[in-house]
Amino acid sequence: GVAGDIIWKEGPLEIWAGPLEGDARAVVLFNRHHAGLAEQITVTWAQLGYKPGFKAAVRDLYAEKDLGVHEQGFTATVANYDVAVLRISHPTKPSGTAGRRHCSSSSRCGACGGRCNGGAFTRWMRGLWRGAASSDACCVSS
């Protein structure tokens, strides 16, 4: 797998992104404020390398919930010292059911078919934010 990179930073706010299968992207909106209010963080499709006019399906990977199709970008409210973990993909392609608590050990996930514990996304999250990906989290793609 390919590791994610920081694509935007302003003070304690960061956006990390990495490629997934096909034209999809994993995106983490990170609010590093130790105290204070939640912040709105916006990722634009241009930041992810998508062409103008692209409409993307957004899925919250922690909540395991589709958030609809969005034009130009997506904004999430992120609590202090928290993250929003998203999958951005073409709206006609299924976003999958990847999330948490679908598997354990190094087996295949019954929900998404991805490799559990050691998939690229899981490793990326562990390096990005210790504790964000639990030992029973599954990856987004094989």
Residue 125: the pLDDT is: 52
For 50-107, the pLDDT digits (tens) are 999 999 999 999 999 999 999 999 999 999 999 999 999 998 644 444 433 344 444 4
Q: If we measure between CA atoms, which residue out of 140, 130, 133, 136 comes closest to residue 81?
A: 130
pLDDT at 137: 39
Listed in sequence order, the DSSP H helices in the chain are 120-128
Supply the pLDDT for residue 59.
97
| Structure-derived torsion over alpha carbons of residues 117, 120, 123, 126, reported in degrees to the nearest 10 | -110
- pLDDT above 70 for 2: yes
Model pLDDT, residue 37: 87
Question: Token pair 């559990």 is at which residue?
Answer: 116
Structure-model confidence comparison of residues 118 and 55, the more confident one: 55
Give yes or no for residue 130 having a pLDDT over 60.
no
Distance of alpha carbon 103 from alpha carbon 89, whole angstroms = 24
- SS3 call for 125: helix
For residue range 9-42, list pLDDT tens digits in order: 999 999 999 999 989 999 999 999 988 889 999 9
93 neighbors 101 (Cβ within 8 angstroms) = no
Question: Would the pTM count as exceeding 0.85?
Answer: no
